[in-house]
């Protein structure tokens, strides 16, 4: 059955401001929201925000996981410190630890190459391709439908990428109700221009992560480079800074409580339309177990890599990422147990069912969709513990690299268009970059300890829940013996050469026949389990094909249901460009407490202990004590450090420019408060607060602490 176009279903009237500042809106939806935006404080034309080739949207860019923006005509890019963390770590050594000490290129010639594979993506066009994606799939089901959808999307991407200066992707919206082709200029030469010291960029560390009050200068600068012809090119000393079509002015005035702000960025993923059965599993099983295992993962790194050592530096980015998830999951679970989301989800589904059943046409169209989707979700969870534990085993860098190399050789036997996504010609530069990054993000002792631990947990599963091929490869038929299996792994690591970058790159060029003959023990493991893993992958695709048919039906029903109530509908986040808006303001995290919306230099100093993670640089402390505020107070009696707003954001929004009504940069979004983390699943207007680095603090640090005058001079500062 052909579904009605989403645009027709979403022809909603946005009159008044009766609904909360909820929603991650696609740019083309913004003209419909103009009256709301103007009433709140937008001063520029709302239509300009809907046009990707016009200011300010063409100044907002993706880093492929984080957001950033151009802030000068010389390709200068500002993002979060934690978004540049991998590149900062990559360029750090025990002798020159710029993670700890910071870095400033006084001239663009001194910019440091970012971590291999770093990219800047400038979105240029967004095209609705729904009809082209679903063409020929209407009567298909299971894996046949999955394969047909993938084939259609691959063809659209291939046509779009005929010009190799662009990266194109097809994104699914509303569970597959609509598909959009997004074309982005891919800038391949990205360099690190400036990062403050860890005592600024990660002040408060994991203790303050997701917490308020906050005093973190979570900002850093890249610079984008292109060839002399102005087109994207791989790194070369001859490349020149990219000249963007527009860039953001940076406000030294900042914002005040109650001011309008909007955030433009690339939010990663939300799950606000998932059904009750999925909510139950995620919050009562998946997140609690992930939190336990991720905590152990971090402790294994710390136990096997001394602080400040080469091994620890190699894993600093990994530790930061895992600690972020650990705290994230903890808040999710806590908020879920305190709240009523599950009950409200079930009530909504009952109300939706009643609404459908009261109309013969709707019942015929949507009557069975909830039951069908619930059954499919249940099937997807049948072997979740097996998949979880084997997933951790396969996170070993030696195993994951071996499997990637083996799969690459297998896929290269096929015509490019028939290869698995991730292994086509367009993906080879990314694969190569990953093989190179491993050189500075791997330690044998750490990797071995992680693998040994999770291998033991996998072996503890019931035999019928394990794969015979994995058991045989690791000699687990008679159970796990720590001494015996440590010796087995010692031997595997000793005989493998995958820890050598040249070897990895050479293996990436081998044919399938050649790689099957490899005597590397990890390549042999990849070979031993390939057939059964491929069969499991095909089963998963068959189930995914069924889900791809059911979810759009449910979303069509939800949209029609909300339309009947005159409620606006936005799509779940999916790493595509979105706009969210709100106001600067505090909140009450619990009874008897009220959090004000700004923190200050004095608050930062009061928190300082000179012991990590509360170890602000000495010069910064002196400037605060001397009250050398400069022109960065914006009418306050101090320099604001961080501020709160109620904009609706999630992971991927990190580094997003926070704009005032004139589209001037007044901050960088970098976090949310602890109570708002569950916003990935459930929006609560009373507790949903995002945390921003105040532009005044960023400029103050650059000027008064790090003497980054060369960068300030090329930026347009609004005073």
Token pair for 555: 């979303």
Give catalytic status of residue 82 as yes or no: yes
Please state, in angstroms and rounded to a whole number, the distance separating the CA atoms of residues 694 and 215.
Answer: 10
Give catalytic status of residue 692 as yes or no: no
* Residue 217 and residue 694 in contact, taking contact as beta carbons nearer than 8 Å: no
Q: Which of 702, 681, 647, 687 lies closest to 40 in space, CA to CA?
A: 647
Burial 639-669 (b: 16+ CB within 10 A, else e): bbbbbbbbbbbbbbbbbbbbbbbebbbbbbb
Please state, in angstroms and rounded to a whole number, the distance separating the CA atoms of residues 152 and 489.
Answer: 43
Token pair for 675: 């109570």
Number of C-beta neighbours around residue 141 at 10 A: 13
3 state SS of 66: coil
Q: In the beta sheet, which residues pair with residue 614? A: 611
Q: Which of 377, 378, 369 lies closest to 550 in space, CA to CA?
A: 369
Number of C-beta neighbours around residue 443 at 10 A: 20
Catalytic residue among 69, 72, 82, 215: 82
Please state, in angstroms and rounded to a whole number, the distance separating the CA atoms of residues 688 and 572.
Answer: 16
Please state, in angstroms and rounded to a whole number, the distance separating the CA atoms of residues 182 and 170.
Answer: 6
DSSP state of 122: E
* Residue 129 and residue 154 in contact, taking contact as beta carbons nearer than 8 Å: no
Catalytic residue among 118, 331, 654, 656: 654
Q: Quick one: how many helices (H) and strands (E) in the chain?
A: 28, 20
Q: Which residues contact 229 (CB under 8 A, 6 or more apart)?
A: none
* Residue 424 and residue 412 in contact, taking contact as beta carbons nearer than 8 Å: no
Give catalytic status of residue 251 as yes or no: no
Residues in the chain: 719
Pairing status of strand 717-718 against strand 250-251: parallel
* Residue 617 and residue 705 in contact, taking contact as beta carbons nearer than 8 Å: yes
3 state SS of 221: strand
Q: Which of 184, 183, 165 lies closest to 226 in space, CA to CA?
A: 165
Q: What is the DSSP string of 262-314?
A: EEEE------TT--HHHHHHIIIIIHHHHHHHHHHHHHHHHHHS-TTSHHHHH
Tell me the backbone φ, ψ of residue 139, rounded to 5 degrees.
-105, 5
DSSP state of 680: G
Q: What is the DSSP string of 420-453?
A: PTTSSGGGHHHHHHHHHHGGGS--HHHHHHHHHH
Q: Which of 362, 118, 259 lies closest to 582 in space, CA to CA?
A: 259
* Residue 217 and residue 693 in contact, taking contact as beta carbons nearer than 8 Å: yes
Please state, in angstroms and rounded to a whole number, the distance separating the CA atoms of residues 711 and 104.
Answer: 9
Q: Which of 344, 342, 353 lies closest to 557 in space, CA to CA?
A: 353
Please state, in angstroms and rounded to a whole number, the distance separating the CA atoms of residues 29 and 462.
Answer: 51
| SS3 sequence of 532-593 | HHHHHHHHHHHHHHHHHHHHHHHHHHHHHHHHHCCCCCCCCCCCCCEEEEEEECCECCCCCC
* Residue 75 and residue 60 in contact, taking contact as beta carbons nearer than 8 Å: no
Token pair for 415: 């015509």
* Residue 665 and residue 71 in contact, taking contact as beta carbons nearer than 8 Å: yes
Catalytic residue among 21, 218, 443, 682: 218
Enzyme catalytic residues: 82, 218, 654
């Amino acid at each position: 059955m052909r579904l009605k176009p989403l645009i027709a279903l979403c022809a909603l009237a946005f009159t008044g401001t009766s609904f909360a500042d909820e929603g991650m809106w696609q740019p083309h939806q913004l003209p419909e929201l103009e009256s709301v935006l103007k009433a709140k404080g937008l001063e520029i034309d709302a239509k300009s925000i809907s046009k990707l080739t016009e200011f300010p949207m063409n100044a907002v860019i993706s880093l492929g996981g984080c957001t950033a923006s151009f802030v000068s005509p010389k390709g200068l890019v500002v993002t979060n410190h934690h978004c540049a963390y991998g590149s900062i770590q990559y360029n750090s050594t025990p002798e020159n630890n710029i993670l700890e000490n910071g870095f400033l290129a006084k001239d663009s010639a001194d910019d440091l190459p970012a971590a291999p594979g770093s990219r800047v993506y400038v979105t240029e066009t967004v095209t609705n391709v729904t009809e082209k994606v679903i063409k020929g799939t209407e009567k298909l089901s299971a894996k046949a439908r999955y394969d047909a959808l993938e084939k259609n999307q691959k063809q659209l991407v291939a046509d779009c990428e005929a010009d190799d200066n662009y990266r194109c992707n097809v994104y699914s919206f509303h569970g597959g109700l609509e598909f959009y082709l997004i074309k982005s200029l891919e800038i391949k030469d990205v360099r690190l221009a400036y990062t403050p010291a860890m005592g600024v960029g990660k002040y408060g560390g994991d203790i303050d992560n997701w917490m308020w009050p906050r005093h973190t200068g979570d900002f850093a600068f890249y610079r984008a480079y292109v060839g002399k012809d102005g087109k994207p090119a791989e790194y070369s000393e001859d490349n020149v800074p990219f000249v963007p079509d527009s860039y953001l002015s940076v406000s030294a005035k900042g914002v005040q409580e109650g001011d309008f702000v909007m955030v433009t960025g690339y939010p990663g993923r939300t799950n606000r339309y998932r059904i009750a059965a999925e909510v139950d599993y995620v919050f009562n099983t998946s997140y609690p177990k992930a939190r336990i295992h991720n905590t152990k993962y971090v402790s294994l790194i710390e136990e096997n890599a001394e602080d400040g050592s080469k091994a620890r530096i190699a894993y600093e980015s990994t530790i930061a990422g895992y600690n972020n998830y650990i705290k994230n999951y903890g808040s999710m679970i806590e908020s879920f147990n305190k709240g009523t989301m599950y009950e409200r989800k079930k009530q909504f589904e009952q109300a939706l069912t009643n609404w459908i059943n009261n109309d013969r046409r709707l019942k015929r169209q949507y009557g069975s969709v909830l039951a069908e989707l619930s059954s499919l979700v249940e099937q997807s969870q049948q072997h979740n513990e097996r998949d979880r534990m084997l997933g951790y085993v396969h996170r070993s860098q030696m195993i994951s690299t071996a499997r990637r190399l083996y799969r690459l050789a297998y896929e290269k036997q096929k015509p490019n268009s028939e290869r698995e996504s991730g292994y086509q010609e367009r993906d080879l530069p990314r694969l190569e970059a990953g093989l190179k990054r491993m050189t500075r993000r791997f330690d044998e002792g750490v990797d071995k300890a992680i693998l040994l631990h999770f291998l033991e947990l996998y072996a503890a599963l019931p035999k019928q829940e394990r794969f015979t091929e994995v058991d045989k490869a690791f000699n687990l038929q008679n159970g796990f013996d720590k001494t015996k299996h440590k010796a087995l792994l010692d031997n595997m690591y000793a005989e493998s050469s995958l820890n050598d970058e040249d070897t990895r790159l050479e293996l990436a060029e081998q044919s399938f026949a050649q790689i099957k003959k490899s005597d590397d023990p990890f390549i042999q493991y990849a070979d031993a389990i390939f057939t059964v893993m491929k069969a499991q992958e095909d089963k998963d695709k068959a189930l995914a094909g069924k889900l791809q048919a059911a979810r759009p039906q449910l979303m069509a029903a939800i949209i029609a249901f909300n339309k009947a109530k005159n409620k606006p509908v936005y799509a779940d986040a999916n790493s595509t460009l979105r706009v969210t808006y709100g106001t600067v303001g505090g909140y009450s995290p619990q009874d008897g407490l009220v959090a004000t919306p700004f923190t200050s230099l004095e608050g930062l100093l009061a928190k300082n202990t000179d012991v990590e993670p509360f170890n602000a640089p000495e010069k910064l402390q002196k400037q605060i004590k001397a009250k050398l505020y400069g022109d960065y107070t914006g009418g306050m009696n101090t320099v604001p450090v961080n501020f709160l707003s109620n904009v609706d954001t999630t992971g991927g929004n990190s580094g997003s420019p926070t704009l005032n009504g004139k589209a001037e940069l007044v901050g960088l979004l970098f976090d949310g408060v602890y109570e708002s983390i569950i916003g990935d699943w459930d929006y609560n207007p009373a507790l949903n607060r995002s945390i921003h680095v105040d532009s005044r603090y960023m400029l103050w640090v650059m000027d008064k602490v790090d003497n980054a005058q060369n960068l300030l001079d090329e930026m347009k500062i609004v005073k």
